[in-house]
Structure 1
Amino acid sequence: MTSRIHDTAGASSRRAWTPPAGKPPLSSRLLRATFRGLPAKRYEVGWEPELTVPGADGSPLVTDHYFPRAEGDFPTLLVRSPYGRGIPWSPMYGVLFAEQGFHVVLQSCRGTGGSGGTFDLWRNEADDGQATVSWLRDQPWFTGTLGTIGTSYLAYVQWALALDPPPELKAMVVQVGLHDPYALFHSNGALRLDNALAVAAGMTYQHRGLLPFVKATLRLKRRLREITTARPLRGAHVSALGDEVPWLDDVMTHPDADDPYWHGASLAAAADGLSVPTALTTGWHDALLDQSLEQFGRLRRAGCETSLLVGPWTHTSAMQQGWPEVFTESLAWLRAHLCGDPSGLRSTAVRVHVGGDDTWRDLEEWPPTPAAATAWFPTPDGHLVQQAPTDHGPLASLRYDPADPTPSVGGPVLSPDAGPRDNGTLEARADVLTFTGPPLTEPVDVVGPVSARLTLSTDTGHTDVFTRLCDVDAQGRSVNVCDGLTPVRTSGQAPSEVTVEMSSTAHRFAVGHRIRWQISGGAHPRYASNPGTGQSRVEAVDFTPVHITLHGDSALLLPR
């Protein structure tokens, strides 16, 4: 990790500062009034809008400053956003944290929200973050104690700053956080189409204001089927999003993680040597769950003080229904590390919500136990058993047609369809295999990473395999718990073995419930359809249906 020379003289020779008289925007104050279940506010809030901060290339970065209306020194929180500085960031970060005794600097990233320059996905954030900290050192109210906070891409900019953390940085709060754009947009070469379109709409329109963003989102929803079934897929998004998203075509046409296009995009290494205390929040149905769990593991291995909160949330609901828990934990972390008050910290590093019985569990580590798994095996009659098979030959088959792709239902996506959903209609399709265990006579806890080991053969040699763990209740309703997809290359009819990582969970299968394993050839439009020909998913015009045969030595692997 490189080292910079940091000038901290500004923090030690602060000038007198007279707070301006402005109040936060009315829209922010009105939305703030709707929040429930939060700690009582401590201070009235002032607002200093549209300050100009020079970026690394001199571009003016438009910045709002929220502050407590009170005498005394207060630490500073830096929030950098490509989605504008209004709703929801103004009330959630600017107003709420200033009420609790923090200066909050809310800045629009380069090329967004009125800031100068051109937005270039992920490439300017480290330098512009450092330039902003340099500006902070000259502010009369800056004490030299800095924290960062933010969600999604607002978390990505934190990792960018952490590549070479300035000495003032004392704490980070990473909420449903991104560190690897490739993994957001691709899964082992399979395009996460739904995510790509959702990010493009947000990045392009949200910073322009609520109305343009809502219009773009509705337009995308109306044209989603037309866009996602177009042949070729490339360029079809222009009808809904316009031609103002040049990076989206680049993202879609570079499916290989080793492509030079992605060099420098992943900031995973920022956690490897980090000593800045970092709190992580995610949800079991968050599109970035796996990235958050990876961040936690890297930080722990580095010896960095860290905490992990995993709730029953999606990417967006963590900051909506989950906001009371998320805000309270975030505030406690910042008070502990910026204000010297650890009274609100929990005693364990990990707190997870356990699905199925709606409880919380405190753990010392994640995953909680050394890697070990119980294997569940499919049978020809659709059952799921723990007895290993003696016949490893063909067991069941399905036909996947990319022209009529198996649809996606719920799961960890960015769209409003995310989360646990009834899978009944999906499982009734002929292109979906299900294997179901017997009614449980005692609860089964699945806590940790889930995976599947499959032996497959195909007639075309090119396919995807999507595999999902479901909880079937006493009434027969099947609800998704976790899942995963990976592309598969086979050699003719010869079987090939593939392991599919199905993310992680903490879930209790109750007495009377059944464990179900679901297998198909895709989940569209969550993932762009595999054309079955070996051609690019975004360039293909011709599709070929594929017959997929599952062999008897395949297994669902559940942690124990």
Structure 2
Amino acid sequence: MLRSTWRGLPAKRHEAGWEPGLVAPAADGSPLVTDHYFPRAEGDFPTLLIRSPYGRGLPWSPMYGLLFAEQGFHVVLQSCRGTGGSGGAFDLWRHEAADGLATVSWLRGQPWFDGTLGTVGPSYLGYVQWALALEPPPELKAMVVQVGLHDPHALFHAGGALHLETALAVAATMTYQHQGMAAFLRATLRLQRRLGAATTAQPLRGAYVSALGGQVPWLDDVMSYPDAEDAYWRGASTAESAERLRVPTALIGGWHDVLVDQTFGQYERLRRAGCETSLLVGPWTHTSALQQGWPEVFAESLAWLRAHLCDDPGGLRPTAVRVHVGGEDAWRNLDDWPATPAATSWYPAPGGHLVRQAPTDRAPLTSFRYDPADPTPSVGGPLLSRTAGPRDNGTLEARDDVLTFTGPPLTEPVDVLGPVSARLSVSSDTGHADVFTRLCDVDAQGRSVNVCDGLGRLRAAANAPSEITVPMSSTAHRFAVGRRIRWQISGGAHPRYARGSGTGEPTVDATTLTPVRITVHTDSALMLPLGGPG
């Protein structure tokens, strides 16, 4: 079935066996239900530990259990505490470090465990790897973090805004996927039907219950504590594990993945620590990396694990970094990331133009009215839904509350390789505003497609010009000859981000919606890291 779904998977080396329903004790003694996949062959084989809150059935059993066992690995697929039949209560992130170490202790008593351990997995399965790496056991010899999480706060909050649609999607997945695919599908369809009501309610607090089919206590907490310094988030981020890690670690991300910025943060920390690492970034969303991208993701993961667990480095590529370049639909091997350390400035100009010449003043340029009762909708980008990724922005850009500044048709290709940002000089008549900023590629027919974006929050005196810098994620994108570079600015992207109320009230408790007039000043700048041909 797997080989008919994905072309390019390697031929299996062994038949795979399955030993389901084993029990490993958690740190507090709670039973953690564990399935063991293994190659049906004589000899010693390294072990892969995969700990998941999403269950042990589809897609984890075939994609991770069977495929890796066929390639010559013992695979331990375990349900996290409080999920998939395991005992105890699931509490987002709080038990993973201790339960991971307890599981390794259990592994040491298994007759088939030869003392060589690796980890692999996506999303929260990446988080449990970083949690184990906080105090890495001596047996841990390699990690593969695929579209992985290390900072829960950053997943749910950015620039002061709540990632509302992502929070609801994560809650549905965490609550239902480990109950089986049928339960998860029903929950997903219910969330789609009721998303509008859940994201426009006043107040937002508790409004998700009908959309998710019940209360999710950890989601209430996540939505209630937007400040990363709040005690609630203490110990949530495992970023420090990468700052001193010596375990060879491969990182895999997608340009439209909700966690791609965390992947780049992981890479930067590992390189700074001198840890052996590699980075692969494809043209994927969070989910498509494990769907359309699975042949590349699996091959990258397998090569890294064989090199560091089996002393077989033949499959490794010659460079540390490999990225897919949008606009030319090609892959490039790079020595490091970011490929271009410096950024160039592009400025908004009268008439909706985008120019390279710096302005001579910081005068008001243009303004628009953002009405939270009719919030600017989100279109594409890094989401957890089917609408994620690059999308036609034409309908969005036709709205009165969306500004666009567009450069002339290019006479030679322009490569953007690295982190993109906006330095915005803005003011608002209430002093409270969100500013969403996006880089787009416009073709010869005028079709505008999103490349990368970000959101920042303005808090200032009414009508007072303020400068805010908005990170817009990173990209590897070629703007081809004849294309135009477009900078899009608006007051939000709902329901991807919870809408700003215009009053400064806390997001989950706001009951008053006040329209805001946002003014963009001439000294604003779009910062693009330009690179040469690769």
Give the alignment's TM-score, normalised by structure 2: 0.98
* 1:152 aligned residue: 123
1:528 aligned to 2:498? yes
Write the letter of the residue equivalent to 1:204. T
| Matching residue within 171, 174, 193 for 1:200 | 171
Separation in structure 1 between the aligned mates of residue 49 and residue 403 of structure 2, nearest angstrom: 49
Q: How far has the Cα of 1:33 moved from its partner?
A: 5.0
1:102 aligned to 2:73? yes
Write the letter of the residue equivalent to 2:101. Q
Separation in structure 1 between the aligned mates of residue 319 and residue 2 of structure 2, nearest angstrom: 33
In structure 2, the gaps of 5 or more residues are none
C-alpha distance after superposition, 1:224-255 (max 9, x if no partner)? 10111111111111002133411001000100
Separation in structure 1 between the aligned mates of residue 417 and residue 480 of structure 2, nearest angstrom: 14
| Matching residue within 377, 386, 392 for 1:407 | 377
* 2:239 aligned residue: 268
| Matching residue within 506, 510, 514 for 1:540 | 510
Separation in structure 1 between the aligned mates of residue 525 and residue 488 of structure 2, nearest angstrom: 12
C-alpha distance after superposition, 1:535-556 (max 9, x if no partner)? 0111111111100000011111
Contact 1:198 1:414 (C-alpha < 8 Å) held by counterparts: yes
Larger deviation, residues 234-243 vs 246-255:
234-243
Classify the secondary structure of the residue corresponding to 2:227.
Answer: coil
Larger deviation, residues 141-150 vs 485-494:
485-494
Separation in structure 2 between the aligned mates of residue 236 and residue 369 of structure 1, nearest angstrom: 44
Contact 1:32 1:95 (C-alpha < 8 Å) held by counterparts: no
1:494 aligned to 2:494? no
Classify the secondary structure of the residue corresponding to 2:507.
Answer: coil
Matches within 5 A, 1:14-33: 30-31=1-2
1:85 aligned to 2:56? yes
* 1:418 aligned residue: 388
| Matching residue within 6, 13, 19 for 1:48 | 19
* 1:295 aligned residue: 266
Write the letter of the residue equivalent to 2:426. L
In structure 1, the gaps of 5 or more residues are 1-29
Q: How far has the Cα of 1:421 moved from its partner?
A: 0.2
Separation in structure 2 between the aligned mates of residue 189 and residue 415 of structure 1, nearest angstrom: 22
Q: How far has the Cα of 1:32 moved from its partner?
A: 5.9
C-alpha distance after superposition, 1:313-359 (max 9, x if no partner)? 00011111011011001000000000000000001000000000011
Separation in structure 2 between the aligned mates of residue 97 and residue 221 of structure 1, nearest angstrom: 34
Contact 2:187 2:213 (C-alpha < 8 Å) held by counterparts: no
Classify the secondary structure of the residue corresponding to 1:215.
Answer: helix
1:361 aligned to 2:332? yes
Matches within 5 A, 1:54-453: 54-370=25-341, 372-453=342-423
Matches within 5 A, 1:508-527: 508-527=478-497
Give the alignment's TM-score, normalised by structure 1: 0.94
Write the letter of the residue equivalent to 2:468. V
Separation in structure 1 between the aligned mates of residue 238 and residue 423 of structure 2, nearest angstrom: 30
C-alpha distance after superposition, 1:88-109 (max 9, x if no partner)? 1101100000000000000000
1:503 aligned to 2:467? no
Classify the secondary structure of the residue corresponding to 1:410.
Answer: coil
Q: How far has the Cα of 1:302 moved from its partner?
A: 0.4
Separation in structure 2 between the aligned mates of residue 415 and residue 155 of structure 1, nearest angstrom: 20
Separation in structure 2 between the aligned mates of residue 487 and residue 416 of structure 1, nearest angstrom: 27
Aligned length: 530
Q: How far has the Cα of 1:31 moved from its partner?
A: 4.7
Separation in structure 2 between the aligned mates of residue 414 and residue 308 of structure 1, nearest angstrom: 22
Classify the secondary structure of the residue corresponding to 1:79.
Answer: strand
Separation in structure 2 between the aligned mates of residue 265 and residue 331 of structure 1, nearest angstrom: 29
C-alpha distance after superposition, 1:42-91 (max 9, x if no partner)? 00000000101110000000000000001110000000000000001101
Contact 2:431 2:464 (C-alpha < 8 Å) held by counterparts: no
Q: How far has the Cα of 1:369 moved from its partner?
A: 3.0
* 1:466 aligned residue: 436
Separation in structure 1 between the aligned mates of residue 267 and residue 347 of structure 2, nearest angstrom: 32
Separation in structure 2 between the aligned mates of residue 486 and residue 377 of structure 1, nearest angstrom: 18
* 1:3 aligned residue: none
| Matching residue within 508, 511, 521 for 1:551 | 521
Classify the secondary structure of the residue corresponding to 2:338.
Answer: coil
* 1:21 aligned residue: none
Write the letter of the residue equivalent to 1:196. A
Separation in structure 1 between the aligned mates of residue 91 and residue 508 of structure 2, nearest angstrom: 22
Separation in structure 2 between the aligned mates of residue 45 and residue 362 of structure 1, nearest angstrom: 34
Q: How far has the Cα of 1:210 moved from its partner?
A: 0.6
Separation in structure 2 between the aligned mates of residue 303 and residue 557 of structure 1, nearest angstrom: 29
C-alpha distance after superposition, 1:139-191 (max 9, x if no partner)? 00000000000000000000000000000000000000000000000003210
Separation in structure 2 between the aligned mates of residue 31 and residue 240 of structure 1, nearest angstrom: 33
Contact 2:425 2:468 (C-alpha < 8 Å) held by counterparts: yes
Separation in structure 2 between the aligned mates of residue 287 and residue 217 of structure 1, nearest angstrom: 18
Separation in structure 1 between the aligned mates of residue 385 and residue 326 of structure 2, nearest angstrom: 21
Separation in structure 1 between the aligned mates of residue 4 and residue 361 of structure 2, nearest angstrom: 64
Q: How far has the Cα of 1:491 moved from its partner?
A: 1.3
Write the letter of the residue equivalent to 1:58. G
* 1:483 aligned residue: 453
Contact 1:189 1:257 (C-alpha < 8 Å) held by counterparts: no
Separation in structure 1 between the aligned mates of residue 354 and residue 346 of structure 2, nearest angstrom: 6
Separation in structure 2 between the aligned mates of residue 42 and residue 244 of structure 1, nearest angstrom: 46
Write the letter of the residue equivalent to 1:260. A
